[in-house]
C-alpha cells in the first residue's frame, strides 16, 4: 500500500483541487431559504454551512453574492454562512442572473480559476442562469446538488437536468470534500475533514 509522494499537478488536474477551483455562493438569504419546497430547510442550511466550511478549510477563493440588499428589499446572507466565511465581502446586485452583474463576473474571473463550484437559491433562477452563462464562457461548472433547492421539486429537478445537458458537472458536498482531500497523507486538512464530514466537533 503505497500512496504517491508527489501530488498530481494541482492546476491541471482534471479533478477538483484546492488550487484549481473557486467557490461561488449566491443568494443564501432568509427570503430565498424560507420559500424552498424541494428540500428540508434545516437540511439545506446544514449542507450549505458544510460547503462554506469546506471552502475555508481548503482555502478556496470564495465569491459571495446577494440580491437586493442595498435596495432594502432583501436581507443579507444567512449568518450560518457568514459566520464561517468571515473574510468574504458579499457582492450585492439587482439582477436575478449574477452573471449579468459586472462586479460579480469581475470577481469570479479575478480568482483565476476555471472550475467553479456553485451553490445558489433558487435552483431554477439564481443557479441556472449564471451557471449557463459561465459554461458558455468556457468555465467548468460544478453545481453542488444537495446545497441547492427550488420552489418546487419539479423546478429544482428540471433546472439541474438543463444544467447537466449544457455541460454542468453535478457534485455533492461529500463528494467535493473527498475530492479536495484525496489522500490521508495530506495531514494538514485531515482534522478539519473529519470534523466537517463526521460532524464530530465538540464531542
Could you give the CA distance from residue 78 to residue 74 in angstroms, rounded to a whole number? 11
Helix H or strand E segment including 161: helix 153-165
Selecting among 21, 60, 63, 126, the annotated active-site residue is 126
End-to-end CA distance of the chain: 32
Could you give the CA distance from residue 86 to residue 165 in angstroms, rounded to a whole number? 35
Could you give the CA distance from residue 32 to residue 78 in angstroms, rounded to a whole number? 10
Q: Is 147 annotated as catalytic?
A: no
Could you give the CA distance from residue 40 to residue 145 in angstroms, rounded to a whole number? 13
Which DSSP symbol is given to 70?
T
- Name the residues annotated as catalytic: 126
Amino acid at each position: 500500500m503505497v500512496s504517491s509522494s508527489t501530488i498530481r499537478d494541482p492546476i491541471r488536474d482534471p479533478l477538483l483541487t484546492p488550487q484549481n477551483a473557486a467557490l461561488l455562493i449566491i443568494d443564501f438569504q432568509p427570503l430565498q431559504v424560507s420559500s424552498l419546497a424541494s428540500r428540508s430547510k434545516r437540511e439545506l442550511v446544514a449542507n450549505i454551512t458544510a460547503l462554506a466550511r469546506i471552502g475555508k478549510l481548503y482555502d478556496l477563493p470564495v465569491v459571495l453574492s446577494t440580491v437586493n440588499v442595498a435596495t432594502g428589499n432583501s436581507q443579507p446572507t444567512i449568518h450560518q454562512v457568514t459566520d464561517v466565511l468571515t473574510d468574504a465581502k458579499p457582492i450585492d446586485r439587482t439582477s436575478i442572473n449574477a452573471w449579468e452583474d459586472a462586479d460579480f463576473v469581475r470577481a469570479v474571473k479575478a480568482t483565476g480559476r476555471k472550475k467553479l463550484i456553485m451553490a445558489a437559491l433558487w435552483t431554477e433562477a439564481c443557479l441556472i442562469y449564471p451557471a449557463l452563462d459561465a459554461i458558455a464562457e468556457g468555465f467548468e461548472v460544478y453545481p453542488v446538488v444537495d446545497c441547492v433547492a427550488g420552489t418546487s421539486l419539479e423546478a429544482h429537478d428540471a433546472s439541474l437536468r438543463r444544467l447537466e445537458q449544457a455541460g454542468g458537472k453535478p457534485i455533492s458536498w461529500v463528494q467535493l470534500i473527498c475530492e479536495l482531500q484525496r489522500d490521508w497523507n495530506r495531514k494538514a486538512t485531515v482534522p478539519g475533514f473529519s470534523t466537517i464530514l463526521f460532524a464530530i466537533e465538540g464531542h
